[in-house]
Amino acid sequence: MTGFPFDAVLFDLDGTLVATDRFWPDVARAATLRVFRERGISRDIPGAPEWMAMVGHPLAQAFEATFDDLDQDSREALLVACAEAGHAQLDRHGATLLAGVTETLAELASRGVRLGIASNCAPEYLELMLARAGLGRWIEEGRCLASPGVRDKADMIEDLLLTFGTRSAVMVGDRAGDRDAAWANGLPHVHIPRGYGGGDDGVEAEAVLAGMEQLVPACMGRATALEACIQRLGVGPLSGGERIVVTGLPLAGSSQFAADLAGCLGAANVPAEVVSGFGTRAGAEAVQVLDAPLERAAALAPGADGLIALTADTEVLERRARGQRAGLEPLERLMEALPPARAQLEALHSPGEPRWIRVDASNAVAPRVT
């Protein structure tokens, strides 16, 4: 079995893993009726589409927008009542996982993929979902708005990546905010629109799926690109000592691609190692995958058995630079380095050499071998 090409998968919770529509509109409406009756409030109560449009957003912000005509005290009382009603419902009856979630999480866990949750919810709600919905069987780590050092979902993702010790990850969600949080960390986003409203059905993402059952096949598009490179390189179980240079534009992902290439070779029973410099060829049994910056690649290419050069659209590289979460400086460095880097990449181009491969890595979920 070809290995899954990401170390970790991070998930939104409501509308992504859990069928929130099965309980939230009903319990929220019942709690609202009670609070309105107790406080003598006369106004229309939101319908199911309005309640579901709140899902995935910080609940306090959603209530402030929906009930902006109420005084703050009434709005806070309503928020507490609805949240407590939701928690009580989950505590009594549990929650329903969306179709394909159980099978997908079980498969990812069996492949050794680290699994985490990033949700704009309260800690009590997150704990209930892990326990009562059974998500704790597969989810290693969960983050919410009350997690230490967290201001928003981008912070949750950043902390999960640090905890898992990897940048090889993908974020899965059903809201534009999930995509924004993923891109703020330079991660690809897999979008599963649920039609809950809020303008989240046409979200641009690295992959858009009809359901959770499509997640693993979609992510395996990266493995397909790696396998295509191996086939072009002619590397197989009897190989040994080949030297493959992997290079690319800044932020195109050449270091991760080099690591993934070595891992893919290993899964195919071809010993491989990522090295910082070429060792001796004599007696070498492993394929050497050299992660080389462009300025070194030109000197290393003549002695290599193959070269993989990663490129990406400027817009994508700029987005990844902004995703470094360190202000404008990474973007400024990128814009300064990109023109000479593109020239260096073109100088490496060798149309007559079948083992000189170019990969468009604009989409990290499904890179395109050209």
User: Would you state the structure tokens that stand for residue 221, as one six-digit string?
Assistant: 């598009």
131 belongs to a structural domain: yes
On whether both 196 and 258 belong to a single domain, the answer is no
pLDDT reported for residue 356:
92
Mean pLDDT, to the nearest integer, of 347-354? 77
pLDDT at 328 over 60: no
On whether both 109 and 182 belong to a single domain, the answer is yes
Domain end among 93, 123, 144: 93
On whether both 328 and 235 belong to a single domain, the answer is yes
User: Would you state the structure tokens that stand for residue 288, as one six-digit string?
Assistant: 């050497």
On whether both 12 and 159 belong to a single domain, the answer is yes
On whether both 296 and 283 belong to a single domain, the answer is yes
CATH of the domain at 249: 3.40.50.300
2 belongs to a structural domain: no
312 belongs to a structural domain: yes
Window from 21-35, 123-137, 356-370 with minimum mean pLDDT = 21-35
In the chain, the percentage of residues whose pLDDT exceeds 90 is 52
Helices and strands in the chain: count of H runs, count of E runs: 13, 12
pLDDT reported for residue 283:
44
pLDDT reported for residue 95:
77
Window from 1-10, 140-149, 320-329, 336-345 with minimum mean pLDDT = 320-329
Surface-to-core class of residue 124, CB atoms within 10 Å of its CB (0-12 exposed, 13-18 middle, 19+ buried): middle
On whether both 205 and 242 belong to a single domain, the answer is no
HSE, side-chain direction, 13 A CA sphere, residue 185:
27
216 belongs to a structural domain: no
Q: What is the DSSP letter of 138?
A: T
Tell me if 262 sits within 8 A of 334, measured CB to CB.
no
State the angle between helix axes of 329-348 and 314-322 in degrees (0 to 180), rounded to the nearest 10: 140
CATH of the domain at 136: 3.40.50.1000
Model confidence band, residue 221 (pLDDT cutoffs 50, 70, 90): very high
268 vs 329, higher pLDDT: 268
pLDDT reported for residue 104:
97
| pLDDT tens track for 166-211 | 999 999 999 899 999 999 998 999 999 876 655 566 789 999 999 9
On whether both 145 and 66 belong to a single domain, the answer is no
190 belongs to a structural domain: yes
On whether both 53 and 202 belong to a single domain, the answer is no
Q: Which domain holds residue 248?
A: 221-369
pLDDT at 7 over 60: yes
Domain end among 158, 182, 210: 210
On whether both 323 and 199 belong to a single domain, the answer is no
CA separation for the pair 184, 176 (Å, rounded): 12
Question: Nearest to residue 57, comparing CAs of 136, 160, 186, 173?
Answer: 173
pLDDT reported for residue 199:
55
| pLDDT tens track for 31-81 | 888 989 888 888 888 888 888 888 777 888 888 888 988 899 998 898 888
CA separation for the pair 170, 219 (Å, rounded): 9
On whether both 62 and 200 belong to a single domain, the answer is no
| pLDDT tens track for 92-113 | 777 788 999 999 999 999 999 9
On whether both 236 and 357 belong to a single domain, the answer is yes
31 belongs to a structural domain: yes
In the chain, the percentage of residues whose pLDDT exceeds 70 is 92
Q: Can you name the residues that pair with 349 across neighbouring β-strands?
A: none
pLDDT reported for residue 1:
41
pLDDT reported for residue 165:
96
Instruction: Produce one character per residue of 163-173: b if its CB has 16 or more CB atoms within 10 Å, e if not.
Output: ebeebbbbbbb
On whether both 227 and 272 belong to a single domain, the answer is yes
Window from 62-66, 238-242, 263-267 with minimum mean pLDDT = 238-242
Window from 107-116, 293-302, 334-343, 346-355 with minimum mean pLDDT = 346-355
How many domains in the chain? 3
pLDDT reported for residue 86:
80
Domain end among 210, 243, 275: 210
CA separation for the pair 147, 144 (Å, rounded): 5
pLDDT reported for residue 108:
97
Please tell me which of 193-202, 327-336, 357-366 the model is most confident about, judged by mean pLDDT.
Answer: 357-366
Window from 207-216, 236-245, 359-368 with minimum mean pLDDT = 236-245
1 belongs to a structural domain: no
43 belongs to a structural domain: yes
